[in-house]
Amino acid sequence: MAQTSQSEGDEDMQELLSKLTLDEKIELLSGKNVWETPSIDRLSIPSLKVSDGPNGARGASFFDGTTAACFPSCVSLAATFNTHLSYAIGGALGQEAITKGAYVLLGPTVCCHRSPLGGRNFEAFSEDPVISGVLASAYVKGLQAERVAATVKHFVGNEQDTRRFSVDESISERALREIYLKPFEMVAKDAEPWCFMTSYPKINGTNVDASSKFLIDILRDEWKYRGMVMSDWGAASTVEGIKYGMDIEMPGPPNKRTPPAVHSALEAGKIHESDINARVLSTLKLLKKVGKFSDRKETAEEQAIDRPEHRALIRKAGSEGIVLLKNERNILPIDVKKTKKIALLGPLAKYAAAHGGGSASLNCHYKVNPHDAFVARLGGNVEITHGKGAHIFRVYPDFEIGCKNAKGNPGFLAEYFKELSASASPFRVEEFPRGSFTTLMNTHVVGSKTVRFTTTYRPPVSGNHYISFSGLGPSTLSINGALLVDQREPTKDSMGFLLGVQDEARIQYSFDANKEYSIVIETHPSPVSNSELYLLDNQNSIHLGFSEQAEMEQDVLSEAVGLAEKADLAVVFVGNTTQWETEGQDLSSMTLPADGSQDRLIASIAAVNPNVVVVNCTGVPVELPWFDQVPAFVQAWYAGQETGNAILDVLLGETNPSGKLPVSWPKKYEHTGCYGHFGLDSFESRAVEYVEGVFVGYRWFDKMWGSEKEVRFPFGYGLSYTQFEISGAKLCGSISNDAGARVKITVKVQNVGQKAGAETVQVYIEPPKVEGLDSPVKGLVGFAKAELHSGEEKKIDVEFARDAAAFWDEQAHRWKVNKGMYSILVGTSSAPADLKMRLETAVEEDFFFGP
């Protein structure tokens, strides 16, 4: 379906705007609740529902909601370097959003990966603005072809989660333009997204919505964006954002845009009714684009529709994003005719790493873990053993098995009270499947002062089992009437608590399998604001974790090593869970959790078995102290609900790996350009300086070749089970001050190996050296992926325009292209050794363009 131009057909919405009263327009300046915009019944203006998120349409419930399809994370999608696949996933996500009654999806995330410690990196595409912009544009076009609005986020500077609600980021204008704004600019111009979402951080001392710079001057005036701008949830910083370009404050009810605050600002002349009109018109136009005035007037009930075609797309995308980084002795693909016994080891062998934590998480229709995939496909022909090998709990798993609530159903019962006591009748009762709940985003329980959370537990086995417990606010835990934990103080990190990464009280309790145990928890909101985000105030939440004594005290490392010794092949699954890699908290180091246990596991297995394949499931690079000891290493990212099948497709060779790294892979965090100036380094100061400027990712490591800080794996790198040759590069066109002019690079790609596969050709531009100007060695200008049968050859084209050669001149406040000779580098990764061909084109005179 063709997209509708954002400038067409506004007359009817202008007329509708003219019929609104001032108070009705003010009502439309903010959401009515967590996920919906207001309706104006007098004029038949309907409400519009939005939904998280970038890798699946979760629906209205943040936890345990209607099941949904979980697609690979955006970093996994970026590793495919496949724009057609990105478009297809965008379209499927549009269809998924519709099943949740939502016609706005809160994605994609296009912030750059500034550091390998970014807790939310997995949700964004890449360290490089070009690949982020190209793939996000395809994603947006696919999504909006279903008449579901994309929401490009978080505009701008949302690279770290530490103190993201209050952090002040010092970023040079050049770095902003060339790195951090660039992917947003590309998407705004190429894909015409219907929504943008603003970010929380201050940029050089000012929030995005607190001046005209970002939302008016750049987004609307320079880039000619005509869509709607919403705040991140709770990110509206001032009522004057109405003047500065933020169309709607989310969520509702409003915090900054209360009717009294807006009327006061009008009376003081801080805003004008024309500003309000502009903001409301954006919302009305969005309602029209998604069909709310025609065939989609009503908000449909949420449905769980598990589509076979989406299953297939998720599996294809997941496997295509997997990156083969080492394959000595051609140990992969697995030869199942010669391999009689496989040991599946590691804490993620039975864990489906479908997604990271936070807004990208959802209640999947199903999740396939690697162990189950192996057993289902190979179990009849190969002996498969399993050992966990390491415990990596950050908090104990949710208390679940053996629990029955007062209604006779599995799980827990939550009773909500308006008083600071649970003695009165609850005003609402809800059921939860496991030992955790939160009132955040739950519009039914606003104002609850006490929550009683109960279950009856019948232990499957006796033992002195392990329990962990914590509350967002003051909370107690009792078993059979005995008080075991009395938490009198609120948690120190509200967001960390809600995302499952908080410190907890840990105890052991003796359970008898022949008895039942009444578990009662009472919790209250914090009596003082302990958050930097008002949305987290006055919330109730607890977590009750549990692990059996036998599991916790078992020597899982020795068991795994013993299994590895007896196996023909050991496949070790390691990585991060949602407890370790999540929105709301950056990583503390590049090491795998926890306490070196996964690194010890791999080294111990490699010492007893020469045939080891390590599969890493993270959204970021990690340190690999055992790398030289293992013959094969695979980066699997977060590959969606089909992750186990996608991984096995690659390990068996049913899919020839074609993924390429969309990020540089440092040997150590200390080698990065932002070391000491990112994330937890800025926790106390609430300020961070982007000291590396434009030297982000490979732009930094290009300066490090030949030194100890050289990357372990370069940006764009990835192996295959076949071999390719690229040749015959030709250049047509030239770099000029003609906005429509293009330079076209044509390259031959041939599969010279024995298997069908795909290769990604990458084109970089190397600018001339100019005295006094410190520029990166090169920058990506484009890429193309070719699928080839054995022996097949194809020609591929990559085009770029003048902006690829330009840098931001901070004195002129414009884009500038310097005169001189520009080298065009063609290859298969950013590493010098992989750039096989060099072409040249000259620019005769300096020129400027842009604002």
pLDDT tens readout for residues 440-490: 888 889 889 999 999 999 999 999 999 999 999 999 999 999 999 999 988
- CB 397, CB 159: distance < 8 Å: no
Mean pLDDT value of segment 5-15? 73
**pLDDT digit string, tens, across residues 95-143:** 999 999 999 999 999 999 999 999 999 999 999 999 999 999 999 999 9
What is the structure's pLDDT at 4?
Answer: 37
Show the tokens assigned to 342. Answer: 């496989």
pLDDT at 531: 75
Closest CA to 672 of 616, 637, 710, 624: 710
Give yes or no for residue 305 having a pLDDT over 60.
yes
d(Cα 775, Cα 773) in Å, to the nearest integer?
Answer: 6
pLDDT at 2: 35
Q: How long is the chain?
A: 851
Cα–Cα distance, 190 to 180 (Å, whole number)? 17
With 0-12 CB in 10 A as exposed, 13-18 as middle and 19+ as buried, what is 748?
Answer: middle
Lowest mean pLDDT among 532-536, 608-612, 625-629: 532-536
Does residue 703 come out as left (phi exceeding 0), alpha (psi in the -120 to 50 range) or beta?
alpha
Percent of the chain with pLDDT over 90: 89
Q: Give just the sign of the alpha carbon dihedral 738, 739, 741, 743.
A: positive
CA distance 487 to 190: 53
Res 3: pLDDT: 37
**Rounded Cα gap, residues 594 and 706, in angstroms:** 32
Is the model's pLDDT at 9 over the cut of 70?
A: no
Report how far Cα 385 is from the mean position of its chain's Cα atoms. 33
Average pLDDT over residues 561-566: 98
> How confident is the model over 8-23, as a mean pLDDT?
92
At CA 168, angle to CA 165 and CA 173, rounded to 5? 125
The pLDDT mean for the chain works out to 95
Q: What is the dihedral of CA 534, 536, 538, 542, to 10 degrees?
A: -170
User: Are 283 and 248 contacting, i.e. CB atoms less than 8 angstroms apart?
Assistant: yes
pLDDT for residue 1 is more than 80: no
CB atoms within 10 A of CB 529: 13
819 band by pLDDT with thresholds 50, 70 and 90: very high
Structural domains of the chain, with CATH: 311-389+561-701 (3.40.50.1700), 403-552 (2.60.120.260), 724-849 (2.60.40.10)
Q: What is the reported pTM?
A: 0.95
Task: Spell out a b/e string for 495-523, using b for 16 or more CB atoms within 10 Å of the CB, else e.
Answer: bbbbbbbbebeeeebebeeeeebebbbbb
pLDDT of residue 121: 98
C-beta separation of 782 from 800 below 8 A:
yes
Mean of pLDDT values over 291-299: 94
CA distance 45 to 47: 7
Q: What pLDDT, on a 0 to 100 scale, did the predictor assign at position 5?
A: 40
Whole-number Å distance between alpha carbons of 336 and 378: 8
Nearby residues of 676 by Cβ (< 8 Å), 6 or more positions away: none
Across 536-572, b (16+ Cβ under 10 Å) vs e yields bebbbbbbbbbbbbeebeeebbebbbebbeebbbbbb
- Residue owning tokens 């605050």: 261
Say if strands 104-105 and 50-51 run parallel, antiparallel, or are unpaired.
parallel
List of E strands, 59-148 = 104-105
pLDDT higher than threshold 50 for residue 505: yes
Question: Burial of 849 by CB count in 10 Å (0-12 exposed, 13-18 middle, 19+ buried)?
Answer: middle
Residue 433 has pLDDT above 70, yes or no: yes
pLDDT tens by residue, 400-426: 999 999 999 999 999 999 998 887 799
CA distance 828 to 830: 7
| Mean pLDDT, residues 829-842 | 97
Q: Answer yes or no: is pLDDT of 831 > 80.
A: yes
Confidence band of 63 (pLDDT split at 50, 70, 90) = confident
CA distance 758 to 723: 10
- Is-cis flag, bond preceding 53, omega within 30? yes
**CA 215, 193, 282: angle at the middle one, nearest 5?**
55
The pLDDT assigned to 491 comes to 84
Phi and psi angles of residue 464, each rounded to the nearest 5 degrees, phi first: -90, 75
742/736 Cα distance (integer angstroms): 9
Write phi, then psi, for 314 (nearest 5 degrees).
Answer: -60, -45
pLDDT band for position 681 (50/70/90)? confident
* DSSP label of 215: I
pLDDT per residue as tens digits for the range 202-258:
999 999 999 999 999 999 999 999 999 999 999 999 999 999 999 999 999 999 999
- Phi, psi at residue 486, to the nearest 5°? -125, 95
pLDDT band at residue 8 using 50, 70 and 90 as cut-offs: low
Residue range 569-577: mean pLDDT, rounded: 98
Question: Which residue's structure tokens are 């103080």?
Answer: 489
Q: Hey, which residues does 455 pair with through a beta bridge? A: 519
Q: How confident is the model at residue 537 (pLDDT cuts 50, 70, 90)?
A: confident
Distance from C-alpha of 352 to C-alpha of 631, rounded to nearest angstrom: 24
Which residues are catalytically annotated? Answer: 232
359 confidence band (pLDDT: 50, 70, 90): confident
Q: Is the pLDDT of residue 7 over 60?
A: no
Q: How many CB atoms lie within 10 A of CB 71?
A: 31
Contact 41, 82 (CB under 8 A): no
